[in-house]
Structure 1
Amino acid sequence: MSLDPITDSIAHFVGLFELATEEARLRTEYQSFKASERKAEDDARQEFAPVRFDAPHRLGDYDPDTGPLPGAKDPVLGQGIASPPAPPAPALQMPALDFVALSPPGEVPGDDRGAGYSLLPYVPTPSSLATVTLQTIRLSDNDLYGDPEAAGFVDPAVYEVLLAQAIALARTFTPWSLDGLTGAVIADPEAAVEFFQTLQTVEAPQADGLVAVLLRGDAATGPIVDGTALEDDGLEGGDGLEDSAELPMRDDLLPAYLARKYGIDDEAGSGAGQGTGQGAGQDSDDAAWQAARSDARADKDILFLHERDLRDLGRDETPPHGDAALHSVTAGGNEMTNVAAIYTNWIDAPVIAVAGDVVTLDAVSQVNVLMDRDSVNGLAVPGTSASKAVNAAQIETREATFQRPSEVGGAILPATWNVKTISGDVLLANHISQHSFVTDNDRLDLTFTAASTTIVAGENQVFNLLAANEFGFGYDLILVGGSMVTLNLVSQTNVLLDDDAFSGAGLADAALSGDDNLAFNKAEILKDGIDTHAEMAKAFADALRDMAAGTGDLAREVAENELFTGFETLRALHIKGDLTQINVIEQVNYLGDQDQVHMAADAVSAMIEGASVSVSTGANALANLVKIQTAGLDSTIMTQGTVYEDAVLYQAGLIDTDAMPTGVNIASLASEAVAFLADDMLSTQIAKAFDDAGAIDESSTVGPTLDVMQTMTA
């Protein structure tokens, strides 16, 4: 059957389309096949041979006088006139110097080396630095073992209220506050003057059982422990704190439980300035370890965290409670430590001229509140090992070890000088707050059925650690258009409540230990460089006025002043604003370790009757350690304003180990400042104490509270 023309055309088109599609499909498959074939051929032709390195040309020996190359001609310019030889370059003997041409415009230097030029000393540009460190730890380890109702235990919330009251009590013992001070001084140096004047009016508080001392001036310098200055007797070491001028070490004062835990041998001797020994049975490598530790004795308190980690690594030590106790219970043994170490070598000069005020203040506040009142079946019991609260501080300024050029340069004056001007302020500020809040109010209803038992409900370890090294520049002269403020302020507080209650006839033959606690504050402010204040010389006063008006160079009368005798060159720094250096450190440890231990008469199984029982609820150690070390120069400071300079040391301690009758409240021992605490205010007070343990107060002794970093972010 024939097709009509239209259908025939469509059929032909479809056929052509099918052929084109098939051709394209075959082409794709063919190309893929050919590509695989060519790849196989290429792989077969590849040959692998080792790489050969050959350097046939060899360099000759160095010849500094080779002369011109053969056939070389002098270069010509334009019409064949030989170019003149380049003048010899000035001889530069020092790197990084300012090179300033002093020749008149258009004058070409002659052949004399360096003619028409002066080499100015390099003056580095100082930078500002502000650090804010907030370290906060909160730990609640209130363990419950057994039946609290059958044992008649008290709710731990009651003890937390008592801890809050003790914290409020410690705050009343602190005569000044550092809250908001850093930001206020950064914003306005006048705040430093106000704080200085506030400290001049502060007096040591008085309260029953409180031992407090406030020292100022020279009386506050040197090593002082609990208000008593230590005097060097010329002997190495000693048997007690009074026998050496060195401050006591934390390891020397540790409770016996912790000392045995860390392998410290009490028989090797303890006390200030004496090394700690190692426990028996340790390997011979400890001798070398102990020798290495003794070399860095001065910084051992700062480094003891690292030492502990290395010494205890992989070591199988005898348990602190010994082998005699078959049933051992530990509800204390807590450690809280705040460590801050700052070393600064920032900005200093042998001569400093200040247009405003000069404020130099070193102040340390140390407070210990320790409550350790234990009872057995409701009756107070005396402790077998007295708890210790120690405040140790040292504020010392020593001559700089760097020798001034005037001592070695002879009777010469600077021939050249250079000035670097800073239009704003120069600031170095370190604000450090370390707060630790721990509760370890355990309730243990003991029952022993095994041959030996070990129960550990304490031994918490809390550490805040900061170490900073900050370096700047040294100059020959510093001109300050504003005020010069140098503050080193330390506040340390320890609060420990360890009122333990033992009950039950089963504890009649048990070895009970609820005391031997330690609250330790140690602060060192060591400065190299003695500042001597002098009357402002007219030349320096005129220079400050002229440079404030825009003069960029230093007057010859200043540069050639007799104070710079021996200086070949003079490097001067001009600060139009204030020169401020602040170190503010706050350290707080709050620990509530009020344990309740009950053991019935039949708590020990008949099969192991007669087995020894040891219960330890004390042996806590709280430590705040600070070391601020500043390296500088012996300086002559001239000022047009007022000089405020002082050292203040406040040390206070309250240790209460008296009997705690039934129903007694710690508020009865508080000072009048906290006697207003009523029953309906306790919940608010404990909440505030908990918050304050990890936050900075909003109150300030120097005016409104300011953000520490407000001037840096504005």
Structure 2
Amino acid sequence: MMDKFTEEISHFIGFFHISVENARAREAYNEFAFTKADVDVEKLPVHTSDFAAPFDLLGFEPDFGYRAPAPDHWYVLTKPVQSQSFSDARTFGHHIDGRVLPDTPNYGFNTPIDSVHYLYPTPEILAPGSVVNHFNQAISLSDDDYFSVGGHGLAFNPEPVGDAAVLEGFEEAAALSPLGDLERPGSSADMIGVIQTVIDQLEDVPADSDAVQINLSATSIDGIYVNGELVEEAPNLDDYHSFDKDESDGDDSAEDDSEGEEGADGESTNTWTQDDGTVAIEVSVEVHTGGNTLINNVVLQNFWTGATITIVAEDHVEVNAIVQINALWDTDAITSAVSDWTHDAATNEMFNIATFDHLDTSNGSEPGASGNDDYPAFWAVTEIHGDLMIVNWLEQIIFMSDDDVGILSSSGVTTSVIAGDNFGVNHASVFELGFSYDLIIIGGSIFDANIIHQMNVLFDNDYVGATADFQTSGEGSVSSSGNLLWNQARIGTIGDADRFDSLSQDQLGTLASFANGDGSISPDLMSDEAFAGLQGLRVLYISGDLINLQYIRQTNILGDSDQIALAMDAIAPNLDANWTIETGSNALLNNATIIDLDSVGKTYVGGEQYSQETLFQAELISGQPDFGNPDPDALVNEAILFLDDSMLAPDDHSTASDASCMPSDYDGHTGDGVNGMIGH
């Protein structure tokens, strides 16, 4: 009898030969058609032969009878006689009655008196490796510009602000934090030391001060806290800051045939033809020295390893902490010469937003209410000798200096100066998806820490002064604040403090068995309600410690102390110019999220169990520095000098004669951006 594979091959060979013969016949006939002649062909004798078909062909049979070869390793599952209908287990292998093979790997199983035996292939379980990531993202920018616009004939040379004051402010703000500078760990011992240091520092928080909004420490914290207050919903950043740049809409008074021309050195002249044929010019002066945006953003999701039940031989130490500090120095001095201008009433806004989430993985049912009486009767183990480390250490810092110095006058054109508007972003996204187990057995301790430390420091001490002869009849506006300091953090973990319990005698016996190398799991542990419905257990054994450390530190430091002088054009002064001065509107933003799903069920601890969650929020607003003189005009007139030596003659009676008489080639300030004389 021919099987169906031989039959298929025979058909294929037969069709192949037929195709070849047809091709040969076609070629021979075409060649013969042109050369045929009347030829008598003698008929050849026909020889016949016997034909036999020893195979009986079967009809079409859709079933595929192939079976994979047996694996190299097997384990034995022994079930009571009453459970002979264990048909679901066939997914694991073949059923062999009454047979127990020798050299079976040492996988534990329950052994009743009356039983039948099942032989199954050993499942392969992968062990997770240690994960240690160190991220260090840093941005440093110095954008200290000097600009001079208009034909005022003066140079403005105040004392540069420098970075020393900003760094001193940072030290003052950092002193509020309960956490000091933590050194990046390089070994498992260092990581445990860092976690213990954090615990000690959080337990020794300095006494509350006026700057501290909240200092909360408890076994578990739940909810959303905004500036020290528990709220139902967190603020939305989009309601306070837009990342879209404003588009210039032009002058609404311009006619349809208006046109603009870009002038040299950043100075533009907007002109249009009026009905009488004359050319009109939009006369204005606009300067923006702020508008900087600093962003640190981190999203860290850790699902590297976890289990329904975790057994710890020694201690379990857990700490979750969010530390947030906003510090602002915004002391401005505005000249009285612009007292009739519109002063932007936008105030500084500062937010510390912290969220603690504890995800509940239970289904709400009581123990024993699952209705499934089937419990696993075998297990497979993967082992890690030593410690398992899951560490993500992220540090982000942005240091920006935007201390601008400028002197402006209106010379009958449209002038626009942008000396700020810098943008710095640090971003990191980490997603670690690893392995899940039914049971994790740890021979040492668990050290689990999630820490977020955020700080914003802004120096926005501006002064806007005017020379003695400055005057204007046009409209004007000045804005020196409107800054946004934003810290937002979230820590999401599994379960609450009630997910811990002490070890039972059966669990202690299981730990001792694994420590001795036997690898036996007690029957009572196998019958835990959390394992109901499972046919077998996936087990991870760690002989050392499990260290889970997630650390994020974000820092924004911005110095935006601008010094602006308003002067009159010495050649063609224009009193009708419209003025717009903006020295604030900075945004310092920190956002960090840690989702740490390291345990999805109960944890049984043989030693001490320590849980601490801490929230620290502080807001520092300083009235310093004191410029030493409440009149910014005096500061301006002390810092200007004439560029034209003839204006310094004894008989000169210029209205700016109170300016310092310094050489015309004096260069008291060097800038990097706009840098130099603009508009001459």
TM-score when normalising by structure 1: 0.63
2:537 paired residue number: 570
| 1:570 Cα offset (Å) | 1.4
Mean Cα deviation higher: 88-97 or 569-578: 88-97
1:504 aligns with 2:443: no
| 1:164 Cα offset (Å) | 1.6
2:138 paired residue number: 136
1:522 paired residue number: 488
Question: Of 351, 356, 362, which residue of structure 1 is paired with 2:309?
Answer: 351
Question: Of 289, 296, 321, which residue of structure 2 is paired with 1:338?
Answer: 296
2:227 paired residue number: 226
| 1:436 Cα offset (Å) | 0.6
Q: Is the 8 A contact 1:397 1:526 kept in 2?
A: yes
Q: Distance in 2 between matches of 1:88 and 1:492?
A: 59
1:622 paired residue number: 588
- Provide, for residues 297-332 of structure 1, a one-character-per-residue CA deviation record: whole Å limited to 9, x for no partner: xxxxxxxxxxxxxxxxxxxxxxxxxx9993211000
| 1:118 Cα offset (Å) | 2.8
Q: Distance in 2 between matches of 1:562 and 1:510?
A: 75
Letter in 1 for 2:579: V
Q: Distance in 2 between matches of 1:57 and 1:89?
A: 42
Letter in 1 for 2:234: L
2:509 paired residue number: 542
Q: Distance in 1 between matches of 2:194 and 2:351?
A: 32
Q: Distance in 1 between matches of 2:166 and 2:594?
A: 31
Other structure's SS at 2:178 match: coil
| 1:356 Cα offset (Å) | 1.6
Q: Is the 8 A contact 1:409 1:567 kept in 2?
A: no
2:324 paired residue number: 366
- Provide, for residues 404-426 of structure 1, a one-character-per-residue CA deviation record: whole Å limited to 9, x for no partner: 99875612221221121111211
- Provide, for residues 55-101 of structure 1, a one-character-per-residue CA deviation record: whole Å limited to 9, x for no partner: 8979xxxxxxxxxx96479xxxxxxxxxxxx999799955899x9x9
1:489 paired residue number: 451
Q: Distance in 2 between matches of 1:173 and 1:379?
A: 40
Other structure's SS at 1:515 match: coil
Superposition pairs of residues 49-68 of structure 1, within 5 angstroms: none
Over 3 Å counting, the alpha-carbon distance change for 1:630 and 1:423 in structure 2 is same
2:334 paired residue number: 376
Q: Is the 8 A contact 1:378 1:501 kept in 2?
A: no
Q: Distance in 1 between matches of 2:596 and 2:477?
A: 50
Question: Of 87, 102, 105, which residue of structure 2 is paired with 1:104?
Answer: 102
- Provide, for residues 655-714 of structure 1, a one-character-per-residue CA deviation record: whole Å limited to 9, x for no partner: 2358945269xxxxxxxxxxxxxxxxxxxxxxxxxxxxxxxxxxxxxxxxxxxxxxxxxx
Specify every segment of 5 or more residues in structure 1 that has no aligned partner in the other structure, as ranges: 1-53, 59-68, 74-85, 107-113, 231-244, 264-322, 665-714
| 1:223 Cα offset (Å) | 0.4
Q: Distance in 1 between matches of 2:628 and 2:69?
A: 98
- Provide, for residues 588-625 of structure 1, a one-character-per-residue CA deviation record: whole Å limited to 9, x for no partner: 0000000001111337944x540201010000000010
Q: Is the 8 A contact 2:442 2:546 kept in 1?
A: yes
Over the residues paired in the alignment, what is the CA RMSD in angstroms? 3.8
More helix by share: 1
More strand by share: 2
Other structure's SS at 1:448 match: coil
Over 3 Å counting, the alpha-carbon distance change for 1:644 and 1:655 in structure 2 is same
Q: Distance in 1 between matches of 2:117 and 2:174?
A: 71
Letter in 2 for 1:252: D
Q: Distance in 2 between matches of 1:149 and 1:219?
A: 67
Mean Cα deviation higher: 221-230 or 175-184: 175-184
Over 3 Å counting, the alpha-carbon distance change for 1:89 and 1:490 in structure 2 is closer
1:123 aligns with 2:125: yes
1:199 aligns with 2:202: yes
Over 3 Å counting, the alpha-carbon distance change for 1:604 and 1:540 in structure 2 is farther
Q: Is the 8 A contact 1:193 1:644 kept in 2?
A: no
Runs of 4 or more, structure 1, over 6 Å off, are: 54-58, 86-92, 378-383, 401-407
Q: Distance in 2 between matches of 1:203 and 1:659?
A: 25
Question: Of 148, 170, 175, which residue of structure 1 is paired with 2:173?
Answer: 170
| 1:476 Cα offset (Å) | 1.0
1:213 paired residue number: 214
Q: Distance in 2 between matches of 1:660 and 1:362?
A: 40
1:423 aligns with 2:385: yes
1:469 paired residue number: 431
2:24 paired residue number: none
Mean Cα deviation higher: 334-343 or 498-507: 498-507
Q: Is the 8 A contact 1:400 1:632 kept in 2?
A: no
Over 3 Å counting, the alpha-carbon distance change for 1:188 and 1:143 in structure 2 is closer
Over 3 Å counting, the alpha-carbon distance change for 1:56 and 1:461 in structure 2 is farther
Q: Is the 8 A contact 1:379 1:661 kept in 2?
A: no
Q: Distance in 2 between matches of 1:603 and 1:334?
A: 33
Q: Distance in 1 between matches of 2:438 and 2:346?
A: 57
Letter in 1 for 2:140: R
Superposition pairs of residues 551-700 of structure 1, within 5 angstroms: 551-602=518-569, 605-606=572-573, 608-631=574-597, 634-656=600-622, 660-662=626-628
2:416 paired residue number: 454
Q: Distance in 2 between matches of 1:87 and 1:383?
A: 80
Q: Distance in 2 between matches of 1:183 and 1:149?
A: 61
Q: Is the 8 A contact 1:378 1:661 kept in 2?
A: no
1:413 aligns with 2:375: yes
Other structure's SS at 2:508 match: helix
Specify every segment of 5 or more residues in structure 2 that has no aligned partner in the other structure, as ranges: 1-14, 20-51, 57-66, 72-86, 105-115, 248-280, 631-680
Letter in 2 for 1:155: E
Question: Of 247, 260, 284, which residue of structure 1 is paired with 2:234?
Answer: 247
Q: Is the 8 A contact 2:332 2:462 kept in 1?
A: yes
Question: Of 144, 148, 151, which residue of structure 2 is paired with 1:146?
Answer: 148
| 1:581 Cα offset (Å) | 1.3
Other structure's SS at 2:518 match: coil
Letter in 1 for 2:551: V
Q: Is the 8 A contact 2:376 2:535 kept in 1?
A: yes
Q: Is the 8 A contact 2:282 2:413 kept in 1?
A: no
- Provide, for residues 345-371 of structure 1, a one-character-per-residue CA deviation record: whole Å limited to 9, x for no partner: 221112111012111111011111111
Q: Distance in 2 between matches of 1:557 and 1:118?
A: 23
Other structure's SS at 1:550 match: coil
Over 3 Å counting, the alpha-carbon distance change for 1:131 and 1:190 in structure 2 is closer
Q: Is the 8 A contact 2:502 2:605 kept in 1?
A: yes
Q: Is the 8 A contact 2:283 2:412 kept in 1?
A: no
TM-score when normalising by structure 2: 0.66
Other structure's SS at 1:476 match: strand
Q: Is the 8 A contact 1:364 1:650 kept in 2?
A: yes
Rg comparison, structure with higher value: 2
